[in-house]
Structure 1
Amino acid sequence: MNNMKENLCEDEWSEIQQRFDKEGLDFKNLSPEERILHVWRWLVDAESNLRSSRKMLDKLRELQSEEMEEMESYMCHIRELAEERAEHLESETESLRSRLETSQHHAATLVNLLRQSGVRGASEDSISEQVILMMYHGMTVLVVD
């Protein structure tokens, strides 16, 4: 157990010496007070960096929250537009269905009128052809009368 502690301490002292070397300081030529002063400065810098990082993280979280609210608002707006569009299309579909039913009713009425007046093949013709036939037939009836 004691051997492990010694190894850990040796590793830590080795890391401290490497840090001094990395900072361009000669560990062996510094007094213990100077070493402590440098370690203290590193600790203060690390604490300052940690505070700055926490502030940045808080700002990022706040920004993310604002962006999420904006995204939710945008999604609600898009949903409303989609619902309005769907309602409009449903209304337009109903209108077109009604017009189609009216046109089909008129076409059926024309076919019946043409059949009653003796015109054959009217059911296969388009509505415009049926109207022309009916007008022609009506004129013929008027001319004959």
Structure 2
Amino acid sequence: MARSKINLLVIDDDDINIFIIKKIVEKTGYDVDMASQANGKLAIDYLQEMLDTNGPFPDLILIDINMPVLNGWEFIEAYEKMNVDKNPHMYLLSSSVYENDIEKAKTYAIVNGFISKPLAIERLKELFDALD
């Protein structure tokens, strides 16, 4: 296993997706502390609070694209402006099958990749293993 505890942040406005990801995380066998936020604005606020309070900053962030208030792309742009000195692995996790979304994800240096929903247990284990 990669590390003692993995801090995971899932940014998704769909409660069912959050529930499914939580169940998949449990099945990986890894020690994971999972937080979720319903949109990019709440996620930015959460990350700022973690920075301000020296709380556990995510090792891995999974970002849905289509959300209210601040979508996935807007979240990434807002995160870049935060000038955070931490480098969590970030993946867009979307049901989008549009090639332009996949290509757009590649234009952001801080985005590690694009994952199509649904998230598979094997893929999540790969993401956890890549954190070292």
Q: Which one has the largest radius of gyration?
A: 1
Per residue, is there more helix in 1 or in 2? Answer: 1
TM over 0.5: no
Higher relative contact order (CA 8 A, sep 6+): 2
State TM-score, norm by structure 1.
0.20
For normalisation by structure 2, the TM-score amounts to 0.21
| Higher strand proportion | 2
